[in-house]
A and B are shown apart, each in its own frame.
Chain A
Amino acid sequence: MHAVSYVLAALAIALMGSNVVLAIRLRRAIVGGEVGAKWGLMTLLVGVFFVGYLFSPLLLYFALPPQYLSAVAFSVFLFGAIFVWVVIGIIRDTLSFLKLLK
């Protein structure tokens, strides 16, 4: 069962690594403004997730106790929620500028 988890972790790390590259490239292309600031925060969160993903196989390897595992899981939920909030903000700003909101 652990082998499956390691494979999933490796896939997640690879995907998140490419996300980091994409986010940084786009950050450099964005001139600035409110959307630029939000994208900067989003890039930072992507970086935080990537670092977390890198360490995730260690949780399995060292068999982290359940109480710590819960803390890690809920931290991921929290950062995930912040990430979604930032993404929604960027999309809302863009759509409102394009007047595509009802």
Chain B
Amino acid sequence: MELIPSGQAALDQLNAAPGVVGSMLFDREGAVLAAAFPPVFDASGLQRLASQLTSDGYFGDWLGGEKGQLSLDFYDGHVVVRSLAGSWLLVLCTPKVNQQLLAMSMTQVVRRLRFPGATGRTGEHALPPAETPLDRLRKLATTELGAHADKAIEILAAAGPGRAELLGAIGEVEKLIRLFIDKKMAESVGRRMRAIVEG
């Protein structure tokens, strides 16, 4: 099994989310590119699962493209499979996992995996090199909030690329700053972030 280091790091990050048991990344040939599961899950079993899923015609049809997601609830677990244009991210969680936190963590990891080389592939996974509004928002959050920027960046990363979604995320970041950091700074950062999205 050839593991991709940056993909592995992204999965380790995802596994740190509460309620996540393990995760793996596999390609359309059924090869496991990266996996982060407790030792009780043996590598051959994960490989077999990836092969079985990718050999299923319906799986490829339902979860093709970039934004396909399959969510399966079991009595003793919750499984989410997310497509990544040519590869898939599978996450196994406990039944009591916080769905919102999971969605946020997955979005963040998916973004990370889409960088060139993260999944061992190039081209279709690569983000455009031009700086997006989201990149600028991230920079602003890092500059203004310094050591406290992580949560704000997480909120921004969880938002979709659309204008309305970004504005919603900015509202959340503003609320975060108002509640936990500083009211005046919240107004200032919120105003500047909106200017980035609207300008």
Residue A33 contacts which of B100, B172, B183 (CB distance < 8 angstroms)? B183
**In contact, B179 and A31 (Cβ under 8 angstroms):** no
**In contact, A33 and B179 (Cβ under 8 angstroms):** yes
Nearest CB in chain A: distance from B150 CB, A: 13
- Say yes or no: A31-B183 contact (C-beta < 8 A), given A97-B176, A99-B100: no
- B58 on interface, CB distance cutoff 8 Å: no
- B182 on interface, CB distance cutoff 8 Å: yes
Interface string of B156-181 (1 = CB under 8 A from A): 00000000000000001001111111
| A99–B99 alpha-carbon span in the complex (Å) | 11
Query: Which of B124-174 touch A at CB < 8 Å?
Result: 148, 172
Number of interface residues of A (CB under 8 A): 11
- A57 on interface, CB distance cutoff 8 Å: no
**In contact, B180 and A35 (Cβ under 8 angstroms):** yes
- A52 on interface, CB distance cutoff 8 Å: no
> B residues within 8 A CB of A31?
148, 180-182
**In contact, B180 and A36 (Cβ under 8 angstroms):** yes
> A residues within 8 A CB of B181?
31-33
> A residues within 8 A CB of B183?
33-34
Nearest CB in chain B: distance from A12 CB, A: 32
**In contact, A34 and B148 (Cβ under 8 angstroms):** no
Interface string of A11-39 (1 = CB under 8 A from B): 00000000000000000001111111000
Q: Which residue of B lies closest to A30 (CB)?
A: B180
| A33–B185 alpha-carbon span in the complex (Å) | 9
> B residues within 8 A CB of A32?
180-182
> B residues within 8 A CB of A97?
172, 175-176, 179-180
Name 6 interchain pairs, CB-CB below 8 A, sorted by A: A31-B182, A32-B181, A33-B178, A33-B182, A36-B180, A97-B179
